[in-house]
Structure formats: structure tokens, C-alpha cells
Amino acid sequence: MIKVYGKENCGKCVSLKSILKNKNLEFEYIEDMKTLMIVASKARIMSAPVVEYNDNVYSMEAFLQVI
């Protein structure tokens, strides 16, 4: 399962959700700033969205290269 951690008013988050929907990929979108900060800081990612997939954490750009 793909988990996308985002935040309010995030253009990249909206864009990633649209890409995943267009590719018919199932995902869970979590809009919680505290959770986003925890997951992002562990992976040393400094911007939303952050994607968790197959026990790995990715920035949006890195994730799009994986799928």
C-alpha cells in the first residue's frame, strides 16, 4: 500500500494525488502535520509530500522514478 503524507495547501501533494489516481494506484492520503514531520525527518526529507512504499520512504520526485 502506498501512503502519502501531505499538508494543507500543498500544490505538490495535489499533483501527486492526481498522478496516482490517473495511474489507478491505490493509496492512502494522510494530512497530518505532526505525522508528516516525523516520517519526513526520519528520512531526512525536507518538503511535502512524503511517500511510504514497500518499507521505504521517498520524496515525491524519488517516488515517481520508482513507480
Which pLDDT score, from 0 to 100, does residue 5 have? 98
Residues 1 and 25 sit within 8 Å (Cβ to Cβ): no
User: In this predicted structure, what is the pLDDT of residue 13?
Assistant: 98
Mean pLDDT of the chain: 97
Domains, the chain, in order of start with CATH, read: 2-66 (3.40.30.10)
Please spell the DSSP secondary structure of 6-55, one letter per residue: E-TT-HHHHHHHHHHHHTT--EEEEE-HHHHHHHHHHHT--SS-EEEETT
% of the chain at pLDDT higher than 90: 100
pTM for this predicted structure: 0.94
Q: What is the mean pLDDT of residues 1-15?
A: 97
At residue 28 the predicted structure's pLDDT band, cuts being 50, 70 and 90, is very high
